[in-house]
Amino acid sequence: MSALLELSGITKTFGGVAALRAVDFSLAAGEIHGLVGENGAGKSTLMKIIAGVHAEYQGEMRLDGHSVTFASPRDARARGIGMVHQELSVVPDLSVAENVHLGAQPVHRFGMIDWRGMRRSAAAHLANLGIDVDPRTRMGSLPLGLQQLVEVARVLFSGARLIILDEPTSALAPPEVERLFGLLRRLRDAGKSIVFISHFLDDVLAICDRVTVFRNGQAVATEACAQVDKRWVIDRMIGTGHEELEESYLAAIQLHSQSDAKLVLQVQGLTRAGAYRDVSLCVRSGEVLGIYGFLGSGQLELARALFGVLPADLGQIMVDGRVVRLSSTTRARRAGMAFLPESRRLMLFGTEPVFKNATIAILDRVDRLWLRPSIERGIAGGHVRQLRIRPPDVGRALGTLSGGNQQKVALAKWLTHLPRVLVLSEPTRGMDVGAKDDVVKIVRGLREQGIAIVVVSTEPETVLSLADRILVMKKGSVVREFADEPVSKDRLLEVA
Amino acid sequence: MMLPKKELGLLVLLVVISAITEALNPLFLSGVNLLDMANLIGLFGIFSIGEGLTIITGGIDLSVGSMFSLLGVIFIDLVANWGVGWPLALVAVLAGGLLLGAIQGILITRARMQPFIVTLCGLLIYRGAARYYTDDSTMGFGYGNDADTLSWLAAGRSFGIPHSFIFLIVVSLILGVVLHRSVFGRYLFAVGKNEEAARYSGISTKLVITGAYVLSGLLAGISTIFLVFYTNSVSPSTFGNFYELYAIAAAVLGGCSLRGGEGSILGIVLGTALLQVLQNLVNILGIPSSLNFAVMGTVILLGVFADQQLQKRRAVAISVAAQRARPAVT
């Protein structure tokens, strides 16, 4: 195998923090190369360097044996490097043919678009790749799996011979994954090179020729996929060295479920097309249920169904033994549900003072009809003291607080009149250690008060630090429950 | 209570422009002129407040001018041609405004259509309906009907003060309390500032937004009565033409942001007053009345521009403060 792309000694720092440290990486012509590693391990940084997004770095990149530097993504595209992002960059309102030709429509004289020529060449190109789609179809009407194939076709059409696929299988059902793999194999046989970035280790091992594992900004191992198994990859991802073992997350955490407490939340057969299928779960009073899965596994949508934001298509939800219909957030709130979304912006009013943010969700119970700002300030003041919100000034505009303190205000919204069920989505994402500890303490305190808590996250550490029981979701289904047993990060990664 | 900065600025502007007008023509502060202006401020203020409420939710109501025409011809027809007693006709008009507002609100929230489109179509439909209903002919009261009491209520004066102005004060007080002192009012602002966040807080955003359009419709119904007795007849093709634009202008001048989430009742009333003083200025100075709109447009543009500059400064101050807050926790 001759190397199409060779990187040596790549180092990239962001504001003094090393994202990549002396990484060597080579990609052969006609190879599918898997890239795995935890969030923040450096995979995407490396791909952004290859795709010309990051132009500043140390080290050398050689394409076809010649040293190259890309000043921009356009540069990289011109040299035959294409990227398909997890969030597809298709235009749903245009036809398949227009999407394939995006940015390079064939034109007649006078600059008019040559529609017929465009359809013909798109049809030929798609047929050539074995993609069975009518080029006149509106892109948005295709299932996601097909849209992705068309996007791959578009990248190829623009002249790519090296394609980077970022999490291509996270939103695909098994048959769609097979179809994608079929296309990738055909491309490989035609001499194209593919970088396959994914959290789904089974998929990586199934399709890739070689796999490179990233950890803490370093490429720690590269091996032929035929030689290794999932266990080997996970060990490399987490590290088995002394230094990592000391970190608490690798040590197994013993789960203790509260099997005798009252059932508060019961969910049966919850289904939402394209998001999750047949999810059943229950949470007891004073119990924290963790739901872990990679991005796109359906757990974020599930959390929204529990608060009436994105109601489920099918299934039943019971709170305290009574069936509730969560068709709106107002109904969900009245049914005793509370929700903290993963983005603070969805929850808070940045220009409004802290106290108005803290009381907006309970106004109708505190004030009924007329506002009583002094009472609101009193309530908010209590939360500020209890949650140690800094600075302790309830009249301050919320936007002037730090992220961790804003998150505490978001939590405070639900703490005046305690809900029966509290659903937290990525409650500690992007927080520093101190703020994370505070949130963990707050959640533990709420558990003591008998609230049923659901913590949804794509980060194993978040679930492990909070949950009494853990469900793992994969591509929309619950695939494993951990209860009354030791569980560690590598076990979670293994089943997800 | 201290006056908020924005309203204080408006008040100063109002005083300055009044002073200039007075200096140019001492008739400005004459009793007759002031009472005339008070009457107009009353007439325009009532529905401008409704307009302001929809703007605070991040929407707009373009239909009020046409509503006046449609509800106006219905009212006159009921009283003059059908012999319906004025209390019943009054109730019919108020109910009509309420209903039209509710329909628009439901289309906006349930069918998720844009407020601009829904109320623009309302503008066209109501105007067309009014003109068809009357065969495009002007409707008047004729003689010998029993609406004299209502006529006095709407167009009369007590202690020399026009009733429309008194009524505006009453409406302002009521809706001022609703907007600034009630839970519903807080919800209106919340929906306008960040509809998602309001929804994620368990607020029935659809109900709140519909409520704003219902109130706007109701106030349009009330204004119809005042306007009908101000002109005593309704020509369906011109009655209330462009009034929605006066209302939008007054609300925006009064500090309502078309992005939603900002505004006050006092500001809207001051905005209405400012517009009327400007009109008066144009008349008194003998500026050709054809330039009327151009003068108003320029002043509104300048006012909103100045306001935006102030806002920008405040946003910068907030982000600077946030920058300072960050290292404190790490």
Class of domain B5-294: mainly alpha
pLDDT in tens, B231-286: 888 999 999 999 999 999 999 988 888 888 999 999 999 999 999 998 888 887 78
Give me the pLDDT at residue A423, please: 95
Q: What is the pLDDT of residue B330?
A: 33
pLDDT at A159 (0 to 100):
85
Looking at residue B1, its pLDDT comes to 44
In a mutational test of the B interface, the residue from A342, A349, A362, A411 whose CB has the highest number of chain B CBs within 10 Å is A349
Instruction: Provide the chain B residues 131-190 that lie in CB contact (below 8 A) with chain A.
Output: 181-187, 190
Residue A453 near residue A337, CB atoms below 8 Å: no
A247 has a chain B CB within 8 A of its CB:
no
Give pLDDT tens digits for A171-230: 777 778 888 899 999 999 999 999 999 888 888 999 999 999 998 888 998 999 999 988
Does pLDDT of B310 surpass 90?
Answer: no
Q: In chain A, what percentage of residues exceed pLDDT 70?
A: 96
d(CA B161, CA B149): 17
Res B183 pLDDT > 50:
yes
> What is the rounded CA–CA span in Å between residue A267 and residue A472?
16
Q: Spell out the domains of chain A, with CATH numbers in brackets.
A: 3-245 (3.40.50.300), 253-347+413-495 (3.40.50.300)
Candidate from A361, A370, A432 with C-beta closest to B201: A361
Confidence of residue A10 (pLDDT cuts 50, 70, 90): very high
Residue B205 is predicted with a pLDDT of 94
pLDDT at A242: 45
Q: Which of A418, A270, A417, A427 is nearest to A341 (CA)?
A: A427
**What residue ranges in chain B does DSSP mark as E strands?**
139-140, 157-158, 161-162, 233-234
Q: Do B201 and A347 touch (CB under 8 A)?
A: yes
**DSSP code of B223?**
H
Q: Phi and psi (nearest 5°) for B191? A: -60, -40
A363 touches chain B (CB under 8 A): yes
Banded pLDDT at A278 (limits 50, 70, 90): very high
d(CA A461, CA A378): 35
Q: Is A113 on the interface with B (CB under 8 A)?
A: no
pLDDT tens digits, one per residue of B91-102: 999 999 999 999
DSSP assignment of B269-282 equals HHHHHHHHHHHHHH
What DSSP element (H or E) covers A22? strand A17-28
Residue A389 near chain B (CB below 8 Å): no
Structure confidence by residue, pLDDT tens digits, A106-161: 877 777 888 888 888 888 888 888 888 888 889 888 877 888 888 888 888 888 89
Chain A neighbors of B325, CB-CB under 8 A? 390-391, 400-402, 405
Write out pLDDT tens, residues B2-31: 567 778 888 998 999 889 888 888 888 888
Nearest one of A129, A101, A131 to A113, comparing CA atoms: A101
pLDDT digits (tens, 9 = 90+) for A229-240: 888 888 888 776
Confidence bin at A486 (pLDDT 50/70/90) = confident
Please give the pLDDT value at position A241: 54
DSSP of B16-48: HHHHHHHHH-GGGGSHHHHHHHHHHHHHHHHHH
The mean per-residue pLDDT over the stretch A77-91 comes to 85
- Contact at CB, A400 and B321, closer than 8 angstroms: yes
Q: Is B329 close to A402, i.e. CB distance below 8 A?
A: yes
Residues 81-120 of B with CB under 8 A from A: none
Are the Cβ atoms of B318 and A399 closer than 8 angstroms? yes
Confidence of residue B325 (pLDDT cuts 50, 70, 90): low
For residue A391, the chain B residue with the least C-alpha distance is B325
Mean residue pLDDT across chain A: 86
Residue A117, SS3? helix
Q: What is the pLDDT of residues A314-354, one digit of tens each?
A: 999 999 999 999 999 999 999 999 999 988 778 899 889 99
Residue A244: per-residue pLDDT: 46
Calculate mean pLDDT across residues A414-435.
84
Map residue A69 onto helix, strand or coil: coil
| Most confident range, picked from A295-299, A351-355, B103-107 | B103-107
Instruction: Specify the higher pLDDT residue, A493 or A381.
Output: A381
Q: Out of A350, A367, A399, name the one closest to residue B183 (CB).
A: A367
Q: How far apart are CA A162 and CA A51, in angstroms?
A: 10
Residue with tokens 């369906």, as numbered in its chain: B236
Q: What is the mean pLDDT of chain B?
A: 88
Locate the chain B residue with the closest alpha carbon to A411.
B201
Of B193, B326, B329, the CB nearest to A349: B193
- CB proximity A17 to B under 8 Å: no
ipTM score for this prediction: 0.81
Between A259 and B80, the higher pLDDT residue: B80
Q: How confident is the model at residue B324 (pLDDT cuts 50, 70, 90)?
A: low
Dist. CA A238–CA B328, nearest whole Å = 32
